[in-house]
Structure 1
């Protein structure tokens, strides 16, 4: 296998120090570099020219897909997709559902899973940023920023997982939105929505939504102890609303890949790369729906416990629980929709197809085309909303 890659033009400075197993050579282009200590596996692996793997001492890479000039310094990478120009520095852990779009960067010791960073987003080092989507900015010099030592907490005491949304898809894909700034050592408790132009100071603890174009200030925290039962849920409507909005944005991103990126791919490998990216988006949709389904399955027990307490607050929770359980089949059906406004993206496809790259095509869109595309994507988000 290694000899075949060398013959094809793949650069392997120390062949004896590299392991390659089970890959499809036709999906690896000349000009790829596999540094010493690299292990490369997986029939779904796709590497475009200029990709470098393992430059800081190797790493494990399985079923990953990379665009051109991607630089993954080292760490553990599995079932993740990286579009053109992405950089992930050393000791990263990138797992399923991860998609880094063009020009995104992340520092060393970063953990992503079910994470989507849209073009040009830059994240620092020593971060945990799982179950999130972040957009914002217009270029490599004007981009959303995630500071070092950030922790995004996605797991609750009840055993549920939630995702947070930074910016959105309908505006984010057109690269005309204000950037988002998240300072270092910030702690964020999911699910929250942070709007474009928001600034979160270093060291903040974020437990609520941050509106667009605002400087976040923490609400006073009252210390004390409260009764807690891991089988009894509190207010659920905000979490369902946030999650369904998140899924709606993933549905919009799915439509963007189906209607724009994949049909305008410049060659077969680029199409395969975008199809791999689409699978990451679909994995995120499935993950979020699964988490809500698991929560709904636990509600009958919580309802019984609230009923036994018989206070005004628990009666309120009982009513909410009953409403959620009765409406979940209807809400779930909304989250399974694949409806796309008819011909909404025809003009965008034509312009992107004529450009030298997807991002160049997006940059060439007229204000009217951007407005029409944004409205079409927002319709998809709104259709999934609670």
Structure 2
């Protein structure tokens, strides 16, 4: 039903621009139960808000020229929501909280009390319950987070459907900041090249637990509730468990890195995985752009993924810089003698400029000429993205996985110590 000028609007603190914009959205079909309680910034492009099945509940605040809301989205059903340059895919429910520079690919559900910041991508049907904080986090389709979770600087894959999905139990933390004050701590649960095929065993992280980054865990990994895990486990289908640390007190020298090689390799592996994912986005996901809104969502995913790559390269660079001070401390301890640990420090420090150059170049390189043609033909025109991927037979999916893994391995070969 057309809305008469001024009908149903309260004077409140809502300025005329917001009232006008809200009225225009309602005329296009957006459901706004209490128009006076909704704020829409002057920089919001209303052509990026669908008029089909979108509901903006009381307390909704929308700002940012990049903000996108697609058909069927519901905003603020449990509490106030702020959307700041966030792309909201179709049939997504953001129930309450703060969302900034994030992307929701579609059919996502996020509970109230959210605090979601830049570099976050929830692919199709990934979800989170209440009071969850995310930043620089990528969740592949179907991944499910419980409540009271802090999950930053991490990528999680695994699972084949909403009934067979990777999950993180409530009250879980990814520890992403070290006593040496760096964030060279990204963790990858599963991997990119197999995870995108939606045919791998789920990963389950037990509640009341944690993971100390950087860490790599294979598909099928289960951590027992209450476990805080600190090591890589690249063997699939393992149960990991552990109790509290043994009590003790030992001397500590701030600024010393005792395992720089592992940290460097884990970060490079993570970045190489993100670069392979970028090629997946460019070459495969681009096939599913059908209109200007889906194009805006796709571009948002690419832009956000690029920001994740840039962030990880920056954090790795900060870590490499800190190794200079660590090396000096170790040299003073060894009275100038070069130990194996010092040699690893020096190899990373001296190699970083070349590594930086390679990672920056690879991040921009398009591998469209290397994708196997039979794989690309098999994935074209098969309905939605999820349907198309799940339609692939085992051999075709393996071909695609091998292509992505080759991209990652070629990068790792170029930058190895």
Give the TM-score normalised by structure 2. 0.89
1:9 aligns with 2:40: no
Distance 1:217 1:318 in 2: 33
For structure 1, which segment, 122-131 or 296-305, has the greater mean C-alpha deviation from structure 2 after superposition? 296-305
Q: Structure 1 stretches of 5 or more lacking a match?
A: none
Say whether the 8 Å CA contact 1:113–1:130 is kept in structure 2.
yes
Q: Which runs of 4+ in 1 moved over 6 A?
A: 311-314
Where does residue 294 of structure 1 map in the other structure? 318
1:146 aligns with 2:168: yes
CA deviation vs aligned residue, 1:199-250 (integer Å, no higher than 9, x gap): 1110001011123111113389544223222222222001111111111111
Where does residue 257 of structure 2 map in the other structure? 233
**Aligned counterpart in structure 2 of residue 355 of structure 1, from 382, 387, 398:** 382
1:258 aligns with 2:261: no
| Deviation at residue 311 of structure 1 after TM alignment | 6.5
For structure 1, which segment, 259-268 or 290-299, has the greater mean C-alpha deviation from structure 2 after superposition? 259-268
* 1:83-102 alignment runs, 5 A limit: 83-102=105-124
User: Between Structure 1 and Structure 2, whose CA radius of gyration is higher?
Assistant: 2
Distance 2:243 2:270 in 1: 24
Distance 1:314 1:123 in 2: 46
Distance 1:283 1:53 in 2: 25
Where does residue 158 of structure 2 map in the other structure? 136
1:53 aligns with 2:71: no
Say whether the 8 Å CA contact 1:264–1:352 is kept in structure 2.
no
Where does residue 27 of structure 1 map in the other structure? 48
1:183 aligns with 2:206: yes
* 1:35-114 alignment runs, 5 A limit: 35-114=57-136
Say whether the 8 Å CA contact 1:263–1:349 is kept in structure 2.
no
| Deviation at residue 321 of structure 1 after TM alignment | 1.1
Distance 1:42 1:341 in 2: 33
Where does residue 364 of structure 1 map in the other structure? 391
| Deviation at residue 58 of structure 1 after TM alignment | 1.6
For structure 1, which segment, 303-312 or 174-183, has the greater mean C-alpha deviation from structure 2 after superposition? 303-312
Where does residue 342 of structure 1 map in the other structure? 369
SS at match of 1:238: helix
Say whether the 8 Å CA contact 2:375–2:399 is kept in structure 1.
no
* 1:305-316 alignment runs, 5 A limit: 305-310=329-334, 315-316=339-340
Where does residue 3 of structure 2 map in the other structure? none
> RMSD over aligned Cα, in angstroms?
1.8
Q: Structure 2 stretches of 5 or more lacking a match?
A: 1-20
SS at match of 2:331: helix
* 1:316-335 alignment runs, 5 A limit: 316-335=340-359
Distance 2:33 2:243 in 1: 55
CA deviation vs aligned residue, 1:248-300 (integer Å, no higher than 9, x gap): 11111101100110133222211220110111111111111101111122222
Give the TM-score normalised by structure 1. 0.96
SS at match of 1:44: coil
**Count of paired positions:** 386
